[in-house]
Structure 1
Amino acid sequence: MEECYNIEFKDLRKILDSNGNLKSDGLRDLAITSVAFANVQGGNIIIGIENKDKEPPIEQIIDIKVTNETISRLRSLCFNVGLVLNEIETHINGGQYFSISVHPTFKSIATTADGKIYIRVGDQNQPARSEDIVRLASEKDAFQWELQIRSVTINEIPEKNIQWFAGEIRNSDRVKQNIKELTDIEIIEHYNLVEKSKLTNLGLLWLGSSSQRSRIVYPLTVQYIVYDELEKKVRKEDWQDYSKNPKELLLDIEKHAIELTYYDEFPHGLFRNKIRHYDERLIRELLINAIVHKSYTISGDIFIKVYNDRMEITNPGGLPLGITKDNILHTTHRRNPHLIRILHDLKLMEGEGTGYNLIYEITSRDAKAFPIPISNYNSTSVTQYSKILNEEAVLLLDFIAKNYQLSQKEFIVLGIVARHKKVLATHLSKELQITDDDRLRSYVNRLNEQSILITRGIKKGTEYLINPKLIVNSKINVKPTLKTIEQPRLKALIEEVLRISQNLTVNEIQTKLGDVPIEDVRKSVYKLVKSGILEHSPDKTYRKYWLAKKNRNDKEK
C-alpha cells in the first residue's frame, strides 16, 4: 500500500512532540488532508507509518488517549468533514498505528477552521483555485443530479420499458441472484430509478419516453461528425430526439459510426495483418466515459469528431476534481455513480477505474499513441490517433502474447518499450503516471525475470530494452537501429564523425548519426569532453566540438 488519491501516511512524530503532546502544526496538516479528502472522494489517514517505510517503527506503542485527543482536536480544525476514528492496529513487526477515515461531502464544501479550501490531486493536497471552487460547487450539485425526483410517476412510464430494464438486469451474469429474484418494480427501485413512486432523473434516462426524457434539464444528446483530409465536414449523424435510453443510444452510435471501423493493412510473411483504426473495445470505453462523466447540469451535446488521422470525443463538464491528464490511469472519481453501476451491471463497461487501463493495453498492443485528454471547466475532450507508430512492435507484441502469460500492466510496459526501442526508467515512470520506484518494479520485475526485457545502467539512468535474443527467436524482420546502441560504441562513433568533420554542434553530430536520440548523443559528448578526448569552443549556445589534438594525431596514425 502506498500514498494515492485516497490514502495518506503520517509519521507519529509529525503530530507528537518529544514529550508526547500533540503538535499544532501536525494537526493543521491533518486538517488540510481531511478537507482535501472530503472535497473529492474521501480517504484514509494512516498515522504512525511513514510513507517511505511502509510499516510502523518496531514496538511503537500508541496510547488511546492520543487517538481520542487527535480526533477531538481535528474535528475542531475543519468544517463539513465527517471523521471516523478507527481502532489501534498492531503490525506484524510489533509496532502500532491507527487510522482516521474521512467521508466525502456530497452537498457542501469542506473547509479548514480558517476558511481555506483544499482538494486532493493524485497523492498531493492542493489549495483550491477560484475555478476549482466553482467546479467543486458544481460537482456537489452534479453528484446529486441522478437522484433528484421528477414529477413523473411510475404509472406514466410505458410498462414495456420497465420489463425491458428488469429483463436486462436478470440476464446479466454480473448481477447477484438475490437481485434477479426481485420483482420488476423492486429492481428499478434497487437501481434508484424510482423513489416514492416517482421517477428520478436517472429513471427518466432509462425508462422514460421521448417526451419525458426531454424534460430533463440537459438530456443525453450526441452528434457524430466526419471530416475529410482538409477537415471539411462531409457527414453528420445526431441523436437529439431523446428516443433511446443509454444502452440503445450506445449501440446505435456504434452501428452508424462506420468510419470508426476502417482498418490498416501491412504485410506479415505471406499474409497481411489488419488492424482497425480504432479497436471496438477502445471506442466503447471512450463513449462510455463520455456518457458517465458528462455533467448533466451543463448544457451541451457529446461530440464525436472523426478526422483523417484521429478521433475526438468531447463531453460537457471538465474532468472530475482530483483527476488530471497526468494521473488518469490510477485515479478514479464517480461523477454519476448510479449510472456507472447500471452500465457495469449491464456489461457495457469495465469495472470502475479499469477503463483507461484497458485503453492503454489496446493502444500498446496496436503500437499507437495513448489517448490525449484535454479538460477545462466546461468540457473534456479525448483525442485518439489512428496511426500505427511501429509495425514491427505490433508483430513483436503478438509473438510475446502467444508465448507468454502476461498481465495487463506488463503489456502496457512492453508497448511503450517496443515503440521507443529503448526507454529510460524516468520516462517509463512518466508514461505510466507513477512516481514510486517500488511501483515501477511491480510493472517490470516479471518482464526482467522472464528475459523479455533487459536493462542497462543504474538508478535513474536505467534503460529498458526488448531482449535481442527474444527478437531473434520471434523471426521478425526487425530493421537495425542506432536507438539501442551502447555507450562505448556510440562514443567511438562520435569520435569517427568528428575525425571526418571537425567543429560540429551536438545537433549536427546527431544529424549525421541518424536515429540516435539527442539525449544519448549529448550524454556521450559530455563524457568525451570530461575524459579529454574532445574539446569545445567557449560558446554556451551553439557550442562546437572537435577531437583534442592528441587524439586527432592518434587517430590519423
Structure 2
Amino acid sequence: MSTEHTGTWPGLPLTETLTIEFKSDRKRLPDDDLVEALVCLANTEGGELWLGVEDDGTPTGLHPAHQSLAGLPGLVAAKTSPSLTVTVNVLELSGTTVAKIIVPKSTTEVATTAGVYLRRRLKQDGTPECVPMLPHDRLSRAGRFGLADASAQPVAGATLADFDPLERERLRQAVRQYGGDRVLLELDDEALDGALGFTTRTPAGERVPTLSGLLVIGRESALRELLPTHEFAFQVLARETVTFNEFRRYPLLKALEWLETNFRPYNPEKEIQIGLFRVPVPKVDLGAFREGVANALVHRDYHRLGAVHVRLDDQGLTVSNPGGLVEGVTLNNLLTTEPRPRNPALADAMKRIGIVERSGRGVDKIYRGMLRFGRPEPDYSRTDANNVVLQLATVDADEVFLQLVVEQENRQSGKSLPIDSLIVMAALREQRRLNIEELARHIHSDTGRARRTVEQLVEAGLAQPHGSARNRSYTLSASVYRAQGGEVAYTLQAGFTSLDHELRVLNHARHHGRVRRRDVIALCQLSTDQAAKLLQRLKEAGKLAQHGERRGAFYTPTENEPL
C-alpha cells in the first residue's frame, strides 16, 4: 500500500464511469458490498473504486474502521475466486482521507466466494450500474477472451434431422466454386460432418449437431426455433426513403448467396481501358463485400440477440454485427495481429469451404478492395465493446491511381502489390507528405517495416524521399503527380532545394534586419540541426554575421548582403 497526497479535488475523477466507481464509507461500507463492487469492475474493463467518496463525487472520508487498509488486498483475495489482486492507495483530498483501489481487468470470470458473478454496464442515462452476470454473459465473455468456443458446442434440442440435405449440396458446390479443401468432396455425410466440426458426440456416444453445423447446413425452421440469436438484414436507403429492408434467418452459405444476389443490382460497375486491358470498376469491390459480410456472420457473438446488418445508403456500405472485437484485437492492430476468431470451429469450417480467407487475413482483402481503386481506407471507427462496425465509402474511384497500381502489377508479372505498399501509396495520395513514424501508424506496424515498404516504392519510382535520413519524409514521386496532371502539386509537396532555403533565409534577413534559428525552422520546415547547419553554411560563406551565442544568437546580413 502506498500513500499519495493530492491536496485538492482535481486528483479525483469528476464522475462515475464504466471504469470509475464511488463508494460512501460514512456508515462503514460492508466488506461483502465492497468485494462485490470490485468483482463487478474486474469482470468488465477493470478500473478504480474510490472509497470514501459520495455518488456525486464529494469526498467525505473513510470510516474509522477503514483508517488502516493494509489488510484490504488480502481480504479481497480471500473473498474472491479466482483471487483478485488489487492495489490500494490512500490520498488526502483537502484534508479528507479517501482510498483509491485499483482493480485490474480479469481475463477470467471472477466471483465472490459466495458465488456472486457481477458485471458493470452503462444505463440509458449514461450512468454505470452493476448487474448479475447471467450464464449467457459468462459464455459471451469467455468467447471474447478465447477461453471457450461456442461454435464447437452442441445445440440444446438439436438432432441430425435438423440438417438440410440441400445445404449439404450447397456446401459441396461452394468448395468447388471458391477453391476450398477438395478433400471434403471425397467424404460421405458423416465423415464430412466430423471433418468440419458439424457434429459432436454425447457421453452416450450419440452424434448431435454443434452450433457450427446448425449455422452452416441447418434447416431454416431449426434455426428459427433453436438459435434465435441468428438473424441478418439487408437494407438499402436512399436519403430518407427505404427501398429494400428484409430480415432473414437462412443458414450461412445460403445467406451469403442471398445477400450477394440482392446487392448486385445496387452495385453498378464500369470499365476503363488500361493498356491492352479493360478493368472493371465497381461501386463496391465484390471481394471486399464478400469478406466483410462473411466476417460479420462468422465472428459475431451468437450469445447476443441482434441482427447482422448490411446497409447501403448515401454514405456508403455499412456492415455491423453484435459483439465487439475479441480480446487482443484493437483498431490499431487489425492489419497485423494474429487471427483471433470468436468462433474458431465455425471460422475453420468456413475457411476449409473456401468462403473466407484461408490465411485468416481477410481484413487485408477488404483494405485491398478499397485502396486499389483509390478509395478511402475501410473505416472501423464506430466499433465499440458491443458491436463491430465496418464502413466502406462508395465515392468515385480514382482512375489515375488505379492505372498506376495496375501498371505496376503488370511490371511485376501480374503479382499484386503488397497491402502495406497500397496503404502507404493511399496515405501519401491523401495526406501528401508523411514521415516514417506517420507511415508506420497507417500500416499498424513498426518504423522498420514502414521504412522497408516505402523504400521499395522509391525503388519502383512510385515514391520520393525528401530531407536527410534522420528527418526524411516522403511524397508520391514526380512521375505519379505528372500522370495525374499535378506537376505544381508535386513541387509544392516536394518542398525546396538547398538554394531555395538559402534565398529564403537571406531574404528574411534583408527585410527584417536579422534572422534567428527558429525563423529558419519555420521558413524552411527544417529540423533544429538542419537549421543550425544552414546558418553555419551562410556564415562561412560570408553572407551572414553571427551575434551572440547559443539560444540568444541571431544573424544579420554582411556588407556583401545589404539590407
SS in 1 for 2:226: coil
Structure-to-structure mapping, 1:431-510, within 5 angstroms: 431-435=442-446, 437-458=447-468, 461-468=471-478, 477-481=485-489, 482-486=492-496, 488=498, 491=501
Q: Quick one: distance in 2 between partners of 1:488 and 1:224?
A: 58
Q: Aligned with 2:405: secondary structure?
A: helix
**Which residue identity does 2:321 align to in structure 1?**
N
Aligned match of 2:209 in 186, 199, 207? 199
Matched, 1:358 2:386: no
Distance 1:491 1:385, change over 3 A: farther
1:238 maps to: 246
Question: Which residue among 160, 163, 183 is the counterpart of 1:154?
Answer: 160
The within-5 A match list for 1:228-377 is: 228=238, 231-240=239-248, 242=249, 244-258=250-264, 260-263=266-269, 275-331=281-337, 332-373=339-380, 374-377=382-385
Report the number of matched residues. 407
Q: Give the whole-Å Cα distance in 1 for the aligned partners of 2:262 and 2:473.
A: 45
- Give 2:195's match in structure 1, choosing from 181, 184, 190: 190
Say whether 1:417 aligns with 2:428.
yes
Q: CA deviation at 1:369?
A: 1.2
| Among 399, 402, 405, the residue aligned to 2:407 | 399
Alpha-carbon RMSD: 4.5
Distance 1:552 1:249 in 2: 79
Q: Report the alpha carbon displacement of residue 296 of structure 1 after superposing the two structures with TM.
A: 0.7
For structure 2, which runs of at least 5 residues remain unmatched after alignment? Answer: 1-42, 44-76, 88-102, 109-118, 123-129, 201-205, 513-518, 539-553
Indicate if the aligned counterparts of 2:171 and 2:353 stay in contact, CA closer than 8 A: no
Deviation for aligned residue 1:218: 3.5
How many angstroms does 1:222 deviate by? Answer: 1.9
User: Is the contact between residue 196 and residue 349 of structure 2 (CA under 8 Å) also seen in structure 1?
Assistant: yes
State the distance in 2 between where 1:218 and 1:426 align.
47
SS at structure 2 position matched to 1:428:
helix
CA-to-aligned-CA distance 1:414-439 (integer Å, 9 cap, x gap): 3333444432111100100113x332
Preserved CA contact (<8 Å) 1:303 1:313: yes
Q: How does 1:510-525 map to 2 (within 5 A)?
A: 523=525
Q: 1:492 to 1:186 in 2, by over 3 A?
A: same
Q: Distance in 2 between matches of 1:311 and 1:499?
A: 55
Structure 1 unaligned segments of length 5 or more: list them: 1-38, 40-78, 80-107, 121-128, 503-508, 510-518, 534-547
Instruction: Within 5 Å, give how 1:371-386 maps onto structure 2.
Output: 371-373=378-380, 374-386=382-394
TM-aligned CA distance change 1:394 to 1:175, over 3 Å: closer
Rg bigger for which structure?
2
Report the Cα offset of residue 156 of structure 1: 4.8
Do structure 1's residue 224 and structure 2's residue 234 form an aligned pair? yes
Distance in 2, matches of 1:263 and 1:221, equals 29
Q: Counterpart amino acid of 1:424? A: N
- The residue matched to 1:278 in structure 2 has which SS? coil
Alignment partner, residue 181 of structure 1? 186
Counterparts of 1:366 and 1:154, CA distance in 2: 46
* Percent of residue pairs identical: 18
Following superposition, the deviation at residue 173 of structure 1 comes to 4.3
Partner of 1:324, secondary structure, is: coil
Separation (CA, whole Å) in 1 of partners of 2:500 and 2:439 = 23
- Counterparts of 1:167 and 1:463, CA distance in 2: 51
Q: Closer, same or farther in 2 for the Cα pair 1:493/1:300, shift >3 Å?
A: farther
| SS of corresponding position for 2:319 | strand
CA contact (8 A) 2:383 2:389 kept: yes
Q: Does the 8 A contact of 1:149 with 1:199 survive in 2?
A: yes
Decide whether the 8 Å contact of 1:364 with 1:416 is kept in 2: no
For the 8 Å contact 1:217–1:297, the answer to whether it is kept is: no
Measure the CA separation in 2 of the matches of 1:453 and 1:156.
Answer: 57
Secondary structure of the structure 2 residue equivalent to 1:152? coil
Task: Compute the TM-score of the two structures, normalised by the length of structure 1.
Answer: 0.61
- CA distance 1:185–1:268, change in 2 (3 Å): closer
Query: Closer, same or farther in 2 for the Cα pair 1:353/1:192, shift >3 Å?
Result: closer
SS of equivalent residue, structure 1 residue 213: helix
Q: Aligned to 1:430, what secondary structure does the other structure show? A: helix
Q: Is the contact between residue 491 and residue 524 of structure 1 (CA under 8 Å) also seen in structure 2?
A: no
1:334 alignment partner AA: P
Match runs of 1:125-144 below 5 Å: 138-141=140-143, 143-144=148-149
- Give a deviation string over 1:146-197, Cα, whole Å, max 9, x none: 13323222145444444544565577643253x4433211111221212232
Provide the secondary structure at the position in 1 that maps to 2:388. Answer: strand
- Tell me the SS of whatever aligns to 1:393: helix
Contact 1:174–1:347 (CA under 8 A) maintained in structure 2: yes
Distance across 1 between alignment mates of 2:368 and 2:186: 37
> CA-to-partner distance for each residue in 1:1-42, whole Å, 9 max, x for gaps?
xxxxxxxxxxxxxxxxxxxxxxxxxxxxxxxxxxxxxx9xxx
- For residues 227 and 118 of structure 1, the distance between their equivalents in structure 2, rounded to whole angstroms, comes to 42
Query: Are the equivalent residues in 1 in contact too, given 2:149–2:342 (CA < 8 A)?
Result: no
Equivalent pair of 2:235/2:244 in contact (CA under 8 Å): yes
- In 2, distance between residues paired with 1:252 and 1:282? 16
Q: Post-superposition shift, 1:479?
A: 4.2
Q: Secondary structure at the match of 1:329?
A: coil
Structure 1 residue 213 displacement after superposition: 0.6
Q: Deviations over 1:508-554 (max 9, x none)?
A: x9xxxxxxxxx987835988799599xxxxxxxxxxxxxx9966999
Shift in alpha-carbon separation, 1:521–1:268, aligned structure 2, 3 A: farther
One-letter code aligned to 1:348:
I
Q: Contact 2:229/2:303 (CA < 8 Å) preserved in 1?
A: no
The 1:119–1:396 alpha-carbon spacing in structure 2 relative to 1, beyond 3 Å, is farther
Alpha carbons of structure 1 residues 225 and 291: separation in structure 2 relative to 1, 3 Å: same
